[in-house]
Amino acid sequence: MAVDIDGTLVNSEDRLTAATCRAVRCAGAAGLRVVLATGRRYSRALPLVETLGLDVPVIASSGAIVKNPRSHRTLFRAEIPVDNLRQLVFLIRRLGFQPLLLGDTFEQGFDYYLDPVDRPNPFLEGYLEANPDCERYWPRMEEEPPPGVFAGFTIGDREEMLVVERAIHTVFPDQYVTHVLRSPRYGGFFCEIAPAGVDKWSAVRTVSAMLGVPLDAVCAVGDDVNDLPMIRGAGLGIAMGNALPVVKEAADYVAPTHDEEGLAEVVAWLLGERPFPARTVGGGVARSQSVERR
């Protein structure tokens, strides 16, 4: 079971409820391998892994990195070539935003490199205040980008981030995958950027191979646009009741919302404690029947 965090595992107050925690632990005890697949940075996902007692790989940064939460060993990491990264930084800066570049630097005590150029941006200021000491300033980012960058993002209002997203795909066709989304923890919207072909589903496929789990035996649960690839690709895709309409349309079933502890209900369906809903939402009758047979 590949589970998103924000909007899925935790509620609108960014809290893991006792009922949801208990359900995830029961799922593990029953033989389900519960894998967190999140847009969060690895360091922000790790406390939940520890609380839930999970011992499987963690998918972070929307699939751009997979790590062993016990040893912190990296099992998969995407990479943006330096020349491509230099051009990407140039574009983001020319659009008036500061790029934040993610490196595999957890054991060095920080998460991302930050352009030191001072640009007024209240959304970025709020993000930095909420994440103290997670950055390392990197001078001359455009001329000499930091090494080992596997993904990046910038932050602003929704329309601004949609402009950034369109520009990236216009200037660099087929080079990047992007998601414009909002975390309930912050005021602005993010434009997440990763190399083409890298998303939560590509990471779920990698982890499934490691665990020896066939892809049609994967259940993916989420609520936002970066969950779409795994919800569409998994043997069973479930959207939360608070999910975006496009996510609900792609899913086989829709669970209650995260504020109604919908993930606990999903676990009850999977363990046979309660029946699945009578009909699918977006997957169609044929797929519904195949899921029921499995």
Query: Above 50 in pLDDT, residue 292?
Result: no
| Residues 177-218 pLDDT 10s | 999 999 888 889 999 999 999 999 999 999 999 999 999 999
Of 283, 256, 273, 270, the residue nearest 8 (C-alpha): 256
Q: What is the mean pLDDT of residues 154-168?
A: 97
Beta bridge partners of residue 230, listed in sequence order:
none
Query: Above 50 in pLDDT, residue 285?
Result: no
List the strands of the sheet with 176-181, edge to edge.
135-137, 112-114, 100-103, 149-156, 189-195, 176-181
- With cut-offs at 50, 70 and 90, classify the pLDDT of residue 288: very low
3-class SS letters over 7-38: CCCECCCCCCCHHHHHHHHHHHHCCCCCEEEC
pLDDT at 282: 54
Cα distance between residue 35 and residue 203, in whole Å: 11
164 and 244 assigned to the same domain: no
For residue 47, give the CATH number of its domain.
Answer: 3.40.50.1000
189 and 203 assigned to the same domain: no
Other Cβ atoms within 10 Å of 102 Cβ, number = 27
150 and 207 assigned to the same domain: no
Structural domains of the chain, count: 2
CB–CB of 285/271 below 8 Å? Answer: no
Q: What is the mean pLDDT of residues 278-290?
A: 45
DSSP conformation class of 147 = T
Domain region containing 112: 82-195
- With cut-offs at 50, 70 and 90, classify the pLDDT of residue 115: confident
For residue 137, give the CATH number of its domain.
Answer: 3.30.1240.10
39 and 92 assigned to the same domain: no
142 and 190 assigned to the same domain: yes
pTM to 2 decimal places: 0.93
pLDDT at 35: 98
